[in-house]
């Protein structure tokens, strides 16, 4: 479970709540446009040690079948994962626009 | 049950009946007796509440906001510098639509230091988005305490409520007060229900930012909430009268105004002396009347216009001055008349600042001044020799 | 390959999709702590980076109940939330605050002191990035000696901030708080253990976690974790706990890494003279003399 992107909608007058409380974890925009570089997992090398998952400030890395997987919608390309990976299973590559 | 109580004590009794779940308290003269009595009620078990000894008024309101966001009924009390110190949180509470109730003991603001009553503290916060009531006596104070939550928590209103009691003159003056029965109070005021709260089944993000597109919509809705209190106050007072037998008159209370030529518009405890003076003048054939404003927010625009429509002149008597302009109540009253296209001579009388006495003869003089014409803005008795 | 720390916390993400700068240390601290505390955490965040990046209606980035407080009111709102939920009969929840260094050591210190004094059952986490980063890197009470900020310029006459950091950890401990700790996001297993421990203790808990801000510190975004390790290795920050009246040091570097190396790689310290660096080294040594004497190992 984590906050997830919702269907795009235009907030009309009636959609704006009466008070400043709203559904938790309601995302309307992604962060992928922030990146100039992106982390790429080398599946052959990744041993699923979860260091990258642990230290990602955005929490965009999860482990699937023992390998790190990145949610590129919200990865900002900070590169902490590549740096923390002791076995060099993550490389930062130029973002393809 | 009848008891001989001060205004503060009466208010505390009303709060006991309202069953707040969280009370955050920080002492300031002349509010202290309220928080002292409430602590005793919590101690003796007659009030089941979390009593939080906060370290400042800012924290008192911040704690109340947190409690309200948790879905709890919250209460705090303050006065003067304390109200100003928590001012940031007042806007926060109203913007978040948290129906907190706060008693404010109206007191002068420094400098010079002074602990006595005037209304410059609360009137400076008219724009903070709170409902503002002004009690005249201890009985009304108690009844406001009980009614306040019902009004504030109404879904259409969802606005915090500030009940103002004149410092010392009301907070410390003893009267015989009728205290409603617990059972009846519970019947009148059900527990607080809201969606505007932390919810573990459907988690919320609260008190968030809103950009230019939606920010003003939130503000508009906040405005609508305060306006909605107009109707809800009347409905609540009607229900209150049915259960407890005491009648209140909505946003203003009129005295001998039906045929009045000269009317004093005022608020708070001084209204009693104004009515006595009006009685006296009536005996002399002068058609004097009194309007007591009970709620400064929402402001009684229509009610004021209706009652002053046919008078020859009116005075606004207030314990306030907006430096460089005039008394704020005067500004508000004039705006009400202007909006209704009424053109009546109006005068402003500033008095009671720092607790300075307003005497019966001062009030008589006001009636005479407005009948004969005077300066627009007047400071009662200023420049005279008797200043202690 | 099992990661013990990862196994010990929730797989769920409670702080996600936020708009913090790339490589933000503060967001890592919030994220990690919430993964410890789980869905019944109620977070209170004052005005500051984490609230600014996480709560822009309708983009709301916390999946647990979360609320912004006034800048000065983190601790007092926590108190109210905790008391309110308790009054409504809830037992299984954690009221946790996340305030920055300015929100904690400057404008929020009074409310924090009040909450500790009352021993309210809350966790207060200060994510310390050593300046008012949200408003554009101005000096706070936790900005270290020598740091250049936008209000402590580095010129010929004055070399950045002239005062050392306030000692918030020991200020909290001086209240005889049930639990206080220091941590660094460079050592998440240690930080996570401390949050876990705090969640088991009744009363007020204070955790002070160093959370570098690449933007404000003048390091690359991928350096955040490394620099947060290095501040500990160089002895300029330390990992410790206070509990039952006793200070305990959790980690003692065998040999301090170079203070100069730590400082020189950050834009905010670029201007320091050799003499300035000597002053910083001397104050570190003095601090460690005190730690060695007064802290258990």
pLDDT tens, position by position, B217-244: 999 999 999 999 999 999 999 999 999 9
The answer to whether the CB atoms of B197 and A23 lie below 8 A apart is no
Q: Which residue of B has its CA nearest to C118?
A: B53
A21 touches chain B (CB under 8 A): yes
A14 touches chain B (CB under 8 A): no
Per-residue pLDDT of chain C (297 residues; tens, 9 = 90+): 679 999 999 999 999 999 999 999 999 999 999 999 999 999 999 999 999 999 999 999 999 999 999 999 999 999 999 999 999 999 999 999 999 999 999 999 999 999 999 999 999 999 999 999 999 999 999 999 999 999 999 999 999 999 999 999 999 999 999 999 999 999 999 999 999 999 999 999 999 999 999 999 999 999 999 999 999 999 999 999 999 999 999 999 999 999 999 999 999 999 999 999 999 999 999 999 999 999 998
- Compute CA distances B230 → A11, B156, B199, B265, B340, whole Å: 29, 11, 30, 19, 18
Can you list the domains of chain C with their CATH numbers? 9-294 (3.40.50.970)
- Domain(s) of CATH 3.40.50.920: residues in chain B: 252-379
Helices marked H in chain B — which ranges? 7-18, 32-44, 57-69, 80-85, 87-95, 120-123, 138-153, 182-188, 212-244, 271-283, 301-308, 328-339, 360-372
All residues at 6 or more sequence positions from C158 whose CB lies less than 8 Å from its CB, including other chains: C152
pLDDT band at A8 (very low <50, low <70, confident <90, very high): confident
- Read off the tokens for C292: 């060695």
Residue B97, by phi and psi: left (phi above 0), alpha (psi -120 to 50) or beta? Answer: left
Residues 39-98 on C with a CB inside 8 Å of A are: 39, 57-66
Distance from CA of B228 to the nearest CA of A (A): 13
Distance from CA of B69 to the nearest CA of C (A): 7
C110 touches chain B (CB under 8 A): yes
All residues at 6 or more sequence positions from A41 whose CB lies less than 8 Å from its CB, including other chains: A67, A68, A69, A70, A89, A90
The answer to whether the CB atoms of A25 and B202 lie below 8 A apart is no
Q: What is the pTM of this model?
A: 0.98
Rounded distance between C-alpha atoms, residue B295 and residue B332, angstroms: 12
Closest CA to C97 of C120, C131, C117: C120
Phi, psi at B335, each rounded to 5°: -65, -40
Residues of A in contact with B96 (CB under 8 A): 19-21
What dotted CATH number matches A4-94?
A: 3.30.70.20
The answer to whether the CB atoms of A18 and B225 lie below 8 A apart is yes
Beta bridge partners of B105: B165
- Domain(s) of CATH 3.40.50.970: residues in chain B: 2-244
The answer to whether the CB atoms of A11 and C58 lie below 8 A apart is yes
| Strands lying side by side in the sheet with C240-243 | A21-23, B204-206, C66-69, C41-46, C94-100, C123-128, C205-210, C179-184, C240-243, C246-249
**Domain over B252-379 is classified CATH 3.40.50.920:** yes
pLDDT tens, position by position, C26-48: 999 999 999 999 999 999 999 99
The structural architecture, per CATH, of the domain B2-244 is 3-Layer(aba) Sandwich (3.40)
The answer to whether the CB atoms of A59 and C16 lie below 8 A apart is yes
Residues of A in contact with B210 (CB under 8 A): 20
Residues of A in contact with B97 (CB under 8 A): 18-20
- Read off the tokens for C49: 């980076």
> Can you give B247-284 as a three-state secondary structure string?
CCCCCEEEECCCCCCEEEEEEHHHHHHHHHHHHHHHHC
**Where is average pLDDT lowest: A62-76, B292-306, B330-344, B373-387?**
B373-387
């Amino acid at each position: 479970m984590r906050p997830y992107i919702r269907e795009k909608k235009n907030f009309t007058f009636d959609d704006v709540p009466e008070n400043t409380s709203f559904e938790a974890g309601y995302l309307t925009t992604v962060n992928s446009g922030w990146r100039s570089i992106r982390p790429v997992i080398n599946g052959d090398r990744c041993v699923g040690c979860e260091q990258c998952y642990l230290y990602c400030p955005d929490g965009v890395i999860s482990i699937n079948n023992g390998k790190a997987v990145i949610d590129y919608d919200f990865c900002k390309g900070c590169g902490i994962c590549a740096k923390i990976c002791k076995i060099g299973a993550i490389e930062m590559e130029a973002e393809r626009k | 049950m009848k008891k001989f109580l001060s205004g503060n004590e009466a208010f505390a009794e009303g709060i006991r009946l309202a069953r707040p779940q969280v009370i955050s308290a920080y002492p300031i003269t002349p509010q202290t007796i309220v928080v002292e009595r409430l602590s005793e009620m919590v101690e003796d078990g007659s009030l089941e509440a979390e009593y939080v000894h906060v370290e400042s008024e800012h924290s008192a309101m911040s704690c109340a906001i947190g409690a309200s966001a948790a879905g709890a009924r919250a209460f705090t009390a303050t006065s003067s510098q304390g109200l100003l110190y928590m001012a940031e949180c007042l806007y926060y509470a109203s913007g978040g639509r948290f129906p907190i109730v706060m008693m404010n003991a109206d007191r002068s603001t420094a400098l010079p230091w002074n602990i006595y009553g005037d209304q410059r503290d609360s009137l400076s916060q008219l724009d903070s988005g709170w409902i503002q009531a002004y009690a005249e006596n201890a009985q009304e104070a108690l009844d406001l305490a009980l009614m306040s939550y019902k009004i504030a928590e109404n879904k259409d209103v969802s606005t915090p409520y500030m009940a103002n009691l004149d410092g010392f003159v009301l907070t410390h003056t003893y009267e015989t007060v009728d205290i409603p029965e617990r059972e009846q109070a519970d019947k009148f005021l059900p527990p607080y229900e809201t969606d505007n709260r932390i919810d573990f089944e459907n988690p919320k993000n609260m008190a968030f930012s809103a950009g230019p597109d939606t920010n003003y919509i939130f503000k508009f809705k906040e405005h609508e909430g305060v306006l909605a209190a107009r109707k809800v106050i009347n409905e609540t007072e009607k229900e209150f009268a049915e259960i407890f037998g005491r009648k209140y008159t909505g946003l203003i209370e009129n005295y001998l105004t039906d045929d009045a030529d000269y009317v004093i518009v005022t608020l708070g405890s001084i209204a009693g002396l104004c009515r006595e003076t009006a009685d006296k003048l009536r005996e002399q054939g002068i058609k004097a009347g009194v309007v007591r404003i009970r709620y400064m927010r929402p402001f009684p625009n229509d009610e004021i216009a209706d009652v002053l429509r046919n008078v020859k002149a009116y005075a606004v008597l207030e314990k306030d001055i907006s430096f460089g302009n005039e008394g704020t109540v005067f500004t508000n009253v004039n705006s009400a008349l202007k909006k209704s296209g009424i053109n009546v001579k109006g005068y402003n009388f500033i008095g009671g600042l720092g607790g300075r006495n307003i005497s019966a003869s001062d009030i008589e003089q006001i009636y005479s001044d407005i009948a004969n014409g005077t300066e627009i803005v007047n400071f009662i008795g200023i420049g005279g020799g008797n200043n202690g | 390959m099992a990661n013990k720390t990862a196994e010990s916390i929730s797989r769920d993400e409670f702080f996600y999709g936020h708009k913090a700068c790339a490589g933000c240390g503060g967001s890592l601290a919030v994220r990690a702590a919430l993964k410890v505390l789980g869905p019944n955490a109620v977070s209170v965040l004052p005005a500051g980076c984490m609230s600014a990046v996480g709560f822009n209606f309708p983009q709301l980035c916390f999946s647990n109940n979360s609320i912004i407080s006034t800048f000065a009111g983190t601790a007092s709102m926590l108190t109210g939330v905790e008391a309110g939920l308790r009054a409504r009969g809830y037992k299984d929840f954690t009221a946790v605050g996340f305030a920055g260094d300015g929100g904690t050591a400057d404008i929020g210190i009074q409310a924090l002191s009040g909450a500790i004094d009352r021993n309210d059952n809350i966790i207060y986490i200060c994510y310390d990035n050593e300046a008012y980063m949200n408003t554009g890197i101005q000096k706070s009470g936790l900005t270290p000696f020598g740091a250049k900020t936008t209000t402590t310029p580095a010129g010929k006459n004055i070399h950045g901030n002239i005062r050392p950091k306030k000692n918030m950890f020991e200020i909290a401990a001086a209240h005889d708080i049930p639990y206080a700790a220091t941590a660094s996001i460079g050592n998440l297993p240690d930080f996570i253990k401390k949050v876990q421990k705090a969640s088991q203790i009744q009363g007020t808990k204070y955790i002070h976690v160093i959370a570098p801000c690449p933007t404000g510190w003048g390091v690359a975004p991928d350096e955040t974790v490394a620099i947060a390790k290095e501040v500990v290795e160089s002895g300029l920050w330390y990992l410790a706990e206070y509990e039952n009246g006793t200070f305990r040091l959790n980690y003692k570097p065998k040999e301090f890494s170079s203070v100069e190396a730590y400082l020189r790689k950050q834009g905010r310290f670029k201007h320091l003279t050799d003499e300035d660096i000597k002053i910083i080294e001397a104050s570190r040594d003095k601090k460690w003399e005190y730690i060695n004497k007064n802290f258990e190992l």
